[in-house]
Amino acid sequence: MKISAISTYLFVVMTSVSCAQSSENMAKSPESVDFTAEIVIDNLSVPWGMVFLPDGSILVSELSGELIRFKDGERTNITNVPEVYFRGQGGLLDLELHPDYENNGWIYITYSSKEGEEKGGNTAIMRAKLEGNALVDNELLYKASPNTTKGQHYGSRIAFDNEGYLYFSAGERGERDVNPQDITRDNGKIYRLHDDGRIPADNPFVNDETAKKAIYSYGHRNPQGLVKHPVTGAIWDHEHGPRGGDEINIIKKGKNYGWPVVTYGINYGGTPITDKTEMEGMEQPIHYWVPSIAPSGITFVTSDKYPAWKGNLLVGSLVFQYLELLEMDGEKVTNRIKLLEGMGRVRNVKQSPDGYIYVAIEGKGLYKLVPKS
Amino acid sequence: MKQFIIGYVLVVGIITNVLLQDKELEESMQRGSEIYADFCITCHLDTGEGVESVFPPLAASDYLMNKREESIFGVKYGRSGDMVVNGVTYSNSMMSMGLEDEEIADVMNYILNSWGNTSDKIVTVEEVSGITR
Q: Where are the domains of chain B?
A: 2-130
Burial B25-39 (b: 16+ CB within 10 A, else e): beebbebbbebbbbb
Residues of chain A in contact with residue B39, where contact means CB-CB under 8 angstroms, are: 88, 151-152
Element (H, E) at B12: helix B2-35
pTM: 0.88
Q: What is the mean pLDDT of residues A295-306?
A: 97
Q: ω into residue A291 within 30 of 0, thus cis?
A: yes
- DSSP string spanning A343-365? S--EEEEEE-TTS-EEEEETTTE
Q: Catalytic residue among A153, A220, A240, A287, which?
A: A153
Q: What is the DSSP letter of A53?
A: -
- Regarding the domain with residue range B2-130, which homologous superfamily does it belong to in the CATH classification? Cytochrome c-like domain (1.10.760.10)
Closest CA to B62 of B85, B83, B43, B78: B85
Beta carbons within 8 Å of A174's beta carbon, 6+ residues apart: A148, A150, A151, A152, A153, B38
| Whether residue A330 has pLDDT greater than 70 | yes
Burial A38-68 (b: 16+ CB within 10 A, else e): eebbeebbbbbbbbbbeeeebbbbbbbbbbb
Q: ω into residue B28 within 30 of 0, thus cis?
A: no
| Domains of chain A with CATH codes | 51-294 (2.120.10.30)
Contact criterion met (CB below 8 Å) for A244 and A265: yes
State the burial class of residue A87 (Cβ atoms within 10 Å of its Cβ: 0-12, 13-18, 19+). Answer: buried
**CB A344 to CB B39 under 8 A?**
no
Burial A308-338 (b: 16+ CB within 10 A, else e): ebeebbbbbbbbbbbbbbbebeeeebeebbb
Residue type, B104: I
d(CA A87, CA B95): 10
Closest CA to A82 of A45, A30, A134: A134
Looking at this predicted complex, what is its ipTM?
Answer: 0.74
d(CA A64, CA B95): 9
Q: Which of A11-20, A25-34, A58-67, A107-116 has the lowest mean pLDDT?
A: A11-20
pLDDT of residue A8: 46
pLDDT of residue B54: 84
Mutation target among B36, B95, B100 for the A interface, most CBs of A within 10 A: B95
Residues of chain A in contact with residue B55, where contact means CB-CB under 8 angstroms, are: 319
| Residue A21 to chain B, least CA–CA distance (Å) | 25
Mutation target among A62, A152, A240 for the B interface, most CBs of B within 10 A: A152
Q: Which of A4-8, A332-336, B97-101, B112-116 has the lowest mean pLDDT?
A: A4-8
Q: What is the mean pLDDT of residues A338-346?
A: 93
3-state secondary structure of B133: coil
Contact criterion met (CB below 8 Å) for A66 and A77: yes
- DSSP string spanning A263-309? -S-B-TTS--S-S-S--TTSPPPSEEESS---EEEEEE--SSSSGGG
Contact criterion met (CB below 8 Å) for A29 and A338: yes
Q: Report CA Rg, chain A.
A: 20
What is the tally of helices (H) and strands (E) in chain B?
6, 4
- DSSP string spanning A56-100? S-EEEEETTS-EEEEETTEEEEPBSPPP---STT-SEEEEEE-TT
Residues of chain B in contact with residue A85, where contact means CB-CB under 8 angstroms, are: 98
**CB A152 to CB B80 under 8 A?**
no
> Is B52 near chain A, with CB under 8 Å?
no
**CB A270 to CB B38 under 8 A?**
no
Residues of chain A in contact with residue B51, where contact means CB-CB under 8 angstroms, are: 319
Q: What is the mean pLDDT of residues A277-288?
A: 97
Q: What is the mean pLDDT of residues B80-107?
A: 92
3-state secondary structure of A175: coil
pLDDT of residue A22: 57
* Mean of per-residue pLDDT scores for chain A: 93
Closest CA to A302 of A213, A201, A230, A211: A230
| Residue A175 to chain B, least CA–CA distance (Å) | 11
**CB B92 to CB A63 under 8 A?**
no
A61-91 pLDDT, tens per residue? 999 999 999 999 899 999 999 999 999 999 9
pLDDT of residue B112: 97
State the burial class of residue A88 (Cβ atoms within 10 Å of its Cβ: 0-12, 13-18, 19+). Answer: buried
Element (H, E) at B63: helix B62-66
**CB A270 to CB B46 under 8 A?**
yes
3-state secondary structure of A130: strand
